């Protein structure tokens, strides 16, 4: 299946983004886990920041967003994104050389909330940009809830999504340890 058709059939379009990317992002976790357009991984497998690669123009800048659109707030299943990682001004595909707005936090779906989609989206920026978002460490949960990939992309004129990938995860025994490390 293509990235576009999988994003549409999994309702990432329109829940997260208005149109699907056509290129794929490869991300590999130190645990050996690899996302493959909706396969299931465990929070234990994805607790450490992955290596990320995608087809890129070395003379362009990119934004990487890693988000969970299935963070429910209250009794109604209102989709509220919780972003797990946000890196901007990435030169080519050199994510490590980008500007980290929000440090990486692995998946932590609360017990009893079922399976969540964890979505990686890359945008090709119109140039090097100045971002006025708060800088968050990987120990900070402030400002991560009620995120909107659509609103963020519009605010910075990022255009259509360039590349994407995702996996699914549900609660496992690592999640309480993650919450404790975050002071939750």
Domain ranges of the chain: 3-181
Q: How far apart are CA 172 and CA 45, in angstroms?
A: 10
Q: For position 16, what pLDDT does the model report? A: 94
- Check residue 179 and report its DSSP letter: H
**3-181: CATH superfamily:** PEBP-like (3.90.280.10)
- Check residue 149 and report its DSSP letter: H
Q: What pLDDT tens digit does each residue of the chain (184 aa) get?
A: 799 999 999 999 999 999 999 999 999 999 999 999 999 999 999 999 999 999 999 999 999 999 999 986 655 555 579 999 999 999 999 999 999 999 999 999 999 989 999 999 999 999 999 999 999 999 999 889 889 999 999 999 999 999 999 999 999 999 999 999 998 8
Q: For position 23, what pLDDT does the model report? A: 97
Nearest to 79 by CA among 18, 147, 172, 20: 147
3-state secondary structure of 37: coil
> 10 Å Cβ neighbour count for 94?
13
Read off the pTM: 0.95
């Amino acid at each position: 299946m293509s990235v576009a058709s999988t994003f549409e059939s999994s309702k990432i379009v329109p829940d997260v983004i208005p149109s699907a990317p056509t290129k794929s992002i490869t991300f590999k976790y130190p645990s050996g886990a690899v996302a493959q357009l909706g396969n299931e991984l465990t929070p234990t497998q994805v607790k450490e920041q992955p290596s990320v690669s995608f087809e890129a123009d070395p003379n362009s800048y990119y934004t990487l967003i890693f988000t969970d659109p299935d963070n429910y707030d209250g009794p109604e299943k209102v989709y509220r994104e919780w972003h797990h990682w946000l890196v901007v001004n990435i030169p080519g595909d050199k994510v490590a050389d980008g500007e980290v707005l929000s440090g990486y936090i692995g998946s932590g779906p609360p017990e009893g909330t079922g399976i969540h989609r964890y979505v990686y989206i890359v945008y090709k920026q119109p140039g090097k940009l100045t971002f006025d978002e708060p800088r968050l460490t990987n120990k900070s949960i402030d400002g991560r809830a009620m995120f909107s990939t659509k609103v963020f992309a519009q605010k910075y004129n990022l255009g259509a999504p360039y590349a994407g990938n995702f996996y699914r995860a549900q609660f496992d025994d690592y999640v309480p340890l993650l919450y404790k490390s975050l002071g939750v």
